[in-house]
Structure 1
Amino acid sequence: MLQQPTGPLAAILAAAGHPARFEILQSLVVGPKPVADLQAELALSSPGQLYHHLKTLTSAGLVEQPERGVYRVPPHAIFPVLALAAAAIDVAERPGAPAKPHDLPG
């Protein structure tokens, strides 16, 4: 793992690391969804934003389009996506982790 080229790994982490894209992954990891359902669920301001995020996730190999207008996390990427989420939760819940927005004074 430590000998792998960092560029491709960083691209995957960057794609998953954006809040909207991480929400897309959370939604799609349970199964395929049409774009209209994703748009309604995520409440993004425009379909263009959703397609931009889906393109980034697709380029990183975290999402695929098995049919027109439908997206999913490919079977080979389900465990890695869940592992990324588990690792983020583990780090976020450690003492000294950054404060959550609702924990910050107001």
Structure 2
Amino acid sequence: MTDETDDRLLALEARVAALEAQIAAPTPRVDGSGLFTYGGQARLGGYEWSWEVARSPEWLMEQPSAQLATVLAAAGHPARFEILKLLVTGPRPIAELQAELGLASPGQLYHHLKTLTAAGLVDQPERGVYRVPPRAVFPVLALAAAAVDVLHQS
């Protein structure tokens, strides 16, 4: 395949994954607690994203804390969040990640990637290449937005 074909295939995969995530998302339960929504449009790394999620605050608070904490802890480490910031713009080979992060050894990078992968924030579409999967792009952006909002309110 050519680079152009690869790029088009990746863009198509991203669009399909975003649509599948919207279809698979739990239907928000209508209750007295209201509705929390987030979404938008973004252009990152040559890809275009469109996303909208709506959840009942009550439903969100009923989710298992341990599972939520796994995702938050994985994203909460400074080195891992830096990896997410790089990968949210598109897939990168391990050597490029290592160079951009200024790491002398790939061992520490693999450790962080394993944690991010276990939390569902990163996947490996091909050998030696990592990315934020399309279904996680907007949630990663939402984590960054929430952190910025908390910082600017204090």
**TM class, shorter-length:** 0.7 to 0.9
Aligned to 1:79: 138
| Matches of 2:115 and 2:105, distance apart in 1 | 16
Aligned to 1:14: 73
Q: Give 1:13 deviation, angstroms.
A: 0.1
1:43 aligns with 2:118: no
In structure 2, runs of 5+ residues without a counterpart are 1-59
Letter in 1 for 2:97: L
In structure 1, runs of 5+ residues without a counterpart are 96-106
Compute the RMSD of aligned alpha carbons: 0.7
Aligned to 2:152: 93
Aligned to 1:102: none
- SS of the residue 1:65 aligns to: strand
- SS of the residue 2:62 aligns to: coil
Q: Which structure would you say has the larger Rg?
A: 2
Q: Give 1:44 deviation, angstroms.
A: 2.3
Aligned to 2:121: 62
Aligned length: 95
Report 1:16-31 matches (<5 A).
16-31=75-90
Percent sequence identity over aligned pairs? 74
Q: TM-score, normalised by structure 1?
A: 0.87
Q: TM-score, normalised by structure 2?
A: 0.61
| Matches of 2:62 and 2:104, distance apart in 1 | 41
Structure ranking higher in strand proportion = 2
Give deviations 1:11-53, integer Å, cap 9, x for gaps: 0000000000000000000000000000000112421000000
Structure 1 segments of 4 or more deviating over 4 A?
Answer: none
Letter in 1 for 2:150: V
Letter in 2 for 1:5: P
1:2 aligns with 2:64: no
| Matches of 2:92 and 2:68, distance apart in 1 | 26
